[in-house]
Structure 1
Amino acid sequence: MGGIKMEELGKKIDKLTNQVTDLRIELWTTYTLFTWQWWVLLVACIIMLVLFFLFIKKERLLSSIAYLGIIYILNKNLDDVATAMDWYDYRMQLEPIIPTMLPANLFIIPIGLTLLYDRFKKWKSYLIALALVSAFISYVALPMMKTVDIYLEKSWNANWSFISLVLIAVISKTVIDKVKLKYNNSSDL
């Protein structure tokens, strides 16, 4: 009996998911694709990639990529939850299928924080730089994105963005630093 009800709910979810995807594609093709906001998102991604390849030190490349990966996973999951819970939404997207902000989740935030991680090895300087960058993203960039209709804030706010960015970055640095310490200690044997 439970299997039949579960199957019915699954079919309803599939139908609604397909309808949402169709609406996202319609919104994207009608109101987003090739607008100046879309071009800004594309250019931001390209700039962040160029900055990554220009400024990441080759001798720290592996740890920087690992750090970037952790930032991406944590930030993407937070963004997935926040979008699903309707805390905020993105009206302008680089692509139509993924409801979260791909340029921010894959390029801007992970690469920006990775550049900090690569540049500031000591915790004190790292935390100062992290606070400044997180404040800029939360209190300047997000309000600008709201003003130009890329980002729609609902029950989320700049303070939550600031706190989440700092926590994500601190967790990521802690994990990578501990792994590096363990690896360096074991390789000395």
Structure 2
Amino acid sequence: MSGVLSEEQLAQLTQELTQARIEHWLVHDLFAWQWWFLLALLIIPWIIFYYTADRKKLPQLWLYGLFIHIIIIKLDAIGFEIGCWIYPYKLLPFGSFAAFIDTSPLPVIYMLEYQYFTSWQSFIKISILTATVFSFICEPILEAIGIYIPLKWHHICSFPIYIAMPCLMRLVVEKIYLAAKR
């Protein structure tokens, strides 16, 4: 198979890409106002969570949040890898491309919804409201300020994902806790 790169060649390209990302980050991202904005988006939700989370529900909240976090990171990585979107500003030059979103505001918001909206009916309603805000307000704002650039993606495509993800993860956590009680 001529023209197919070897694993060693792919590893070399990956190292070169990482070095280029670090150099770009040092010149372009680090300490730009967008970098400070991302840092605030990473820290502030966790401060809010610290003061609002029900300590008695922490194990369940953490499990739910961990599942949400894993799904968000995987979906985000897939979307980036296949060219659906890019994040021009990063907190760090390597790792999750959208660590600020994947690690803080989304999981924290979803965990607080899980805590406060205990019936399925209220949870589905808040999930629809949250999906609307994330898809049609937050994503366009992040796009307008240049932090998120959809390439082959439309905000409407995010809407069902923002509804299905928290509902599915709630179902999974409830099943786990139900099985643990038996």
If the TM-score is normalised by the length of the shorter chain, which range does it land in?
over 0.9
Indicate whether 1:72 and 2:65 are aligned. no
Residue 113 of structure 1 pairs with residue 125 of structure 2: no
Q: Is residue 2:86 matched to residue 1:63? A: no
User: Are 1:27 and 2:29 counterparts?
Assistant: no
Say whether residues 1:128 and 2:128 are aligned partners: no
Question: Retained in 2: the 8 A contact 1:68–1:111?
Answer: yes
Q: Any gaps of 5 or more consecutive residues in structure 2? A: none
Q: CA RMSD in A?
A: 1.6
The equivalent of 2:97 in structure 1 is 100
Q: Does the 8 Å contact 2:41/2:101 carry over to 1?
A: no
Q: Distance in 2 between the 1:65 and 1:19 partners?
A: 37
**Equivalent position amino acid for 1:169 in 2:** P
Counterpart position of 2:15: 18
- Spell out, residue by residue over 1:45-65, the C-alpha distance to the aligned partner (whole angstroms, 9 max, x if none): 111111111111011110000
Residue 91 to residue 99, structure 1, CA distance change in 2 (3 Å): farther
Identify if the C-alpha distance between structure 1 residues 99 and 173 changes in structure 2 by more than 3 Å, giving closer, same or farther: closer
Deviations 1:11-60 (A, max 9, x none): 12112211221221122111111111111111111111111111110111
- Do the aligned residues in 2 keep the contact of 1:90 with 1:99 (CA within 8 Å)? no
Matched, 1:163 2:134: no
What is the aligned partner in structure 1 of residue 79 from structure 2? 82
How far did residue 182 of structure 1 move?
2.1
Alignment pair present for 1:146 and 2:143: yes
Compared with structure 1, are the counterparts of its residues 99 and 67 closer, same or farther at alpha carbon in structure 2 (3 Å cutoff)? closer
* In structure 2, distance between residues paired with 1:136 and 1:26: 35
Identical-residue share of aligned pairs (%): 24
TM-score normalised by the chain length of structure 2: 0.94
With the length of structure 1 as denominator, give the TM-score of the two structures: 0.90
Gaps of 5+ in 1: none
Moved over 6 A (4+): none
Name 2:42's counterpart in structure 1. Answer: 45
Distance 1:28 1:137 in 2: 27
Distance across 2 between alignment mates of 1:61 and 1:105: 19
Matched residues, number: 181
Q: Please state how far the C-alpha of 1:166 moved relative to its aligned partner.
A: 1.4
157-166 or 30-39, larger mean C-alpha shift: 157-166
